[in-house]
C-alpha cells in the first residue's frame, strides 16, 4: 500500500475515475486537492472510497497564493516523511507550479507529472518557464503521445527525454459502452435522434477550436441526396464562448442538414448512449492529445474521420483503422467515399484494439510499474 498525494482537480471525471481505478483498486491511501466546492455527489463519492480532500478553495489571487503555499507546506510537514508518491495531474503552468516546486523540491518522494492531453499543446513560452520547475524535480513525466512529446521538446529540447513515459488513462466511459445493451437504433431514439438516418457527431465540446463551422460547411457541400440521409449531432456541453452556439445554429440552419444540438453535461452512462448512437465521428479540432472522447467513439464502432494536422501515432502503431483527411475540401471527398462504402473501416477490429490498449484494465499494470520505477 502506498500513500499518495494527487494534485489535480478533484471534481474532474478523469481524476475520479483515475483514483478509483488505479489507487483505490491497489489499496493506496490517497489525498486529492480540491480547488472549488464539490457537488454533493462528488463529496459522497470521495467519502465512499475513503479519499481525503486537501482544501485549496479561496477567493482572490493573492489569497489563493498564500493559502496554496500554507496548505502544501503544512501537508508536507505532516505527511512528507512517509509519502510515497506526489502525483501531479494536468500540471499547472503558472505561479501554482512555483509554489509546488518550492514546497516539494527538498522531498525524497517520487514525483510524477501527467499531462491529460491537449493541455501541453496549449502552453506558451511563459507557461513553459513555470512548468519547467516542476519537471526538474519530477521522476517521471507522463505524456500520452509522440505528438505531445514533440511539443515538450519545443520548449526544453531533449533535456527531459529520459523521464518521459507513455502511460495513458483508461477511457472513463469504455466500461459503460461495453455494458450497455442498447442497439444503435434504440440509442438514437433515446437521445432524440432519427434512427433511420446516419448520425455524424461533430466535435466533442463547445470550444471554437473544434472548428464546428468549418466541419459543418464541409458536410453541407455533399450532394443533396446524401444530405437528406444524414443527421448531425453537436454536443456543446462545456467550454462554449458567448455567441458561438448561435453561430453554430445559424450555420446549421443554412446547411440544409438535419441536426440535434445537446447542451447538457452528460454522465458516463449518457455518454455511452451518445457514442453508441453515433455512426461517424468527425474530428476537426486544431489540436488534440488523443482525448477520451475519440477513444470512446472508436470503441463504440463509430467511423473516425480525423485531420492529418492531428497525429495519433499510437493509433497508427496499434493498427486502429480510421479515415484521414488533409483539409476541409478533402473532408467532403472522404466523407462521401465513406458513405458510399468505398472506404471501409474494420469496426470490430477497432473495438478489440481499443479495449485491449485503452481500458483501465489494460493500463493498470503500466501505472503500477511507473509507481515502482520499473518501466523503461
| Domain carrying residue 285 | 174-358
Same domain, 346 and 258: yes
The total number of structural domains in the chain stands at 2
- The x, y and z cell numbers of residue 328, run together, are 476541409
Per residue in 276-322, pLDDT (tens digit) is 999 999 999 998 878 889 999 999 999 999 999 998 988 999 999 99
More confident site: 269 or 238? 269
The predicted model gives 22-30 an average pLDDT of 94
Distances (CA, A) of 310 to 79, 150, 284, 306, 315: 42, 12, 9, 7, 12
Per residue in 121-159, pLDDT (tens digit) is 778 889 999 999 999 999 999 987 777 788 889 999 999
Q: Is residue 274 part of a domain?
A: yes
The predicted model gives 36-59 an average pLDDT of 93
Q: Kindly compute the dihedral angle of the four CA atoms of residues 87, 89, 92, 97, in this order, to the nearest 10 degrees.
A: 0
- Strands 230-235 and 198-202 come out as parallel
Write down the pTM of the prediction: 0.77
- The x, y and z cell numbers of residue 110, run together, are 517520487
Residue 287 pLDDT:
82
Q: Is residue 376 part of a domain?
A: no
Per residue in 222-249, pLDDT (tens digit) is 999 999 999 999 999 877 889 999 999 9
Distance, in Å, from the CA atom of 212 to the CA atom of 233, rounded to the nearest integer, reads 11
Strand, coil or helix: 6:
strand
Q: Is residue 116 part of a domain?
A: yes
Q: Is residue 257 part of a domain?
A: yes
Same domain, 354 and 364: no
All residues at 6 or more sequence positions from 48 whose CB lies less than 8 Å from its CB, including other chains: none
Residue 183 pLDDT:
95
Q: Is residue 89 part of a domain?
A: yes
Closest CA to 129 of 167, 95, 85, 80: 95
Same domain, 103 and 209: no
Given phi > 0 = left and psi -120 to 50 = alpha, else beta, which region is 107? Answer: beta
What CATH number is attached to the domain comprising 44? 3.40.50.2000
Same domain, 75 and 204: no
Q: Is residue 262 part of a domain?
A: yes
| 360, pLDDT greater than 80 | yes
All residues at 6 or more sequence positions from 128 whose CB lies less than 8 Å from its CB, including other chains: 93, 155, 156
Same domain, 204 and 164: no
207 contacts 240 by C-beta, under 8 angstroms: yes
Same domain, 136 and 214: no
Amino acid at each position: 500500500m502506498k500513500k499518495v498525494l494527487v494534485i489535480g482537480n478533484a471534481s474532474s471525471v478523469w481524476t475520479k475515475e483515475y483514483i478509483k481505478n488505479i489507487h483505490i483498486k491497489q489499496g493506496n491511501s490517497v489525498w486529492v486537492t480540491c480547488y472549488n466546492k464539490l457537488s454533493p455527489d462528488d463529496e459522497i463519492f470521495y467519502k465512499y472510497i475513503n479519499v481525503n480532500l486537501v482544501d485549496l478553495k479561496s477567493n482572490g489571487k493573492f489569497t489563493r497564493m498564500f493559502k496554496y503555499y500554507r496548505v502544501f507546506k503544512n501537508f508536507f510537514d505532516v505527511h512528507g516523511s512517509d509519502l510515497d508518491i506526489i502525483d501531479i495531474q494536468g500540471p499547472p503552468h503558472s505561479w501554482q507550479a512555483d509554489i509546488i516546486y518550492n514546497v516539494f523540491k527538498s522531498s525524497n518522494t517520487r514525483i510524477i507529472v501527467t499531462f491529460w492531453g491537449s493541455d501541453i499543446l496549449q502552453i506558451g513560452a511563459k507557461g513553459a518557464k513555470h512548468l519547467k520547475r516542476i519537471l526538474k524535480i519530477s521522476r517521471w513525466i507522463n505524456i500520452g503521445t509522440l505528438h505531445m512529446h514533440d511539443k515538450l521538446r519545443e520548449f526544453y529540447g531533449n533535456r527531459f527525454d529520459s523521464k518521459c513515459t507513455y502511460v495513458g488513462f483508461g477511457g472513463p466511459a469504455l466500461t459503460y459502452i461495453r455494458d450497455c445493451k442498447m442497439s444503435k437504433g434504440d440509442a438514437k431514439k433515446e437521445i432524440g435522434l432519427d434512427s433511420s438516418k446516419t448520425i455524424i457527431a461533430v466535435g466533442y465540446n463547445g470550444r471554437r477550436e473544434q472548428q464546428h463551422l468549418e466541419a459543418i460547411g464541409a458536410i453541407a457541400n455533399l450532394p443533396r441526396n446524401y444530405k437528406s440521409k444524414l443527421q448531425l449531432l453537436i454536443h456543446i456541453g462545456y467550454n462554449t464562448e458567448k455567441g458561438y452556439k448561435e453561430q453554430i445554429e445559424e450555420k446549421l440552419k443554412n446547411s440544409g442538414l438535419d441536426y440535434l444540438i445537446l447542451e447538457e453535461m452528460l454522465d458516463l452512462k449518457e455518454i455511452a448512449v451518445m457514442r453508441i448512437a453515433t455512426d461517424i465521428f468527425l474530428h476537426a479540432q486544431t489540436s488534440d492529445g488523443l482525448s477520451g472522447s475519440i477513444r470512446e467513439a472508436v470503441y463504440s464502432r463509430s467511423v473516425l474521420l480525423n485531420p492529418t494536422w492531428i497525429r495519433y501515432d499510437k493509433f497508427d502503431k496499434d493498427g486502429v483503422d480510421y479515415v484521414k483527411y488533409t483539409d476541409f475540401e478533402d473532408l467532403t471527398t472522404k466523407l462521401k467515399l465513406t458513405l458510399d462504402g468505398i472506404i471501409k473501416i474494420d469496426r470490430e477490429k477497432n473495438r478489440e484494439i481499443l479495449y485491449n490498449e485503452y481500458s483501465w484494465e489494460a493500463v493498470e499494470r503500466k501505472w503500477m510499474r511507473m509507481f515502482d520505477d520499473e518501466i523503461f
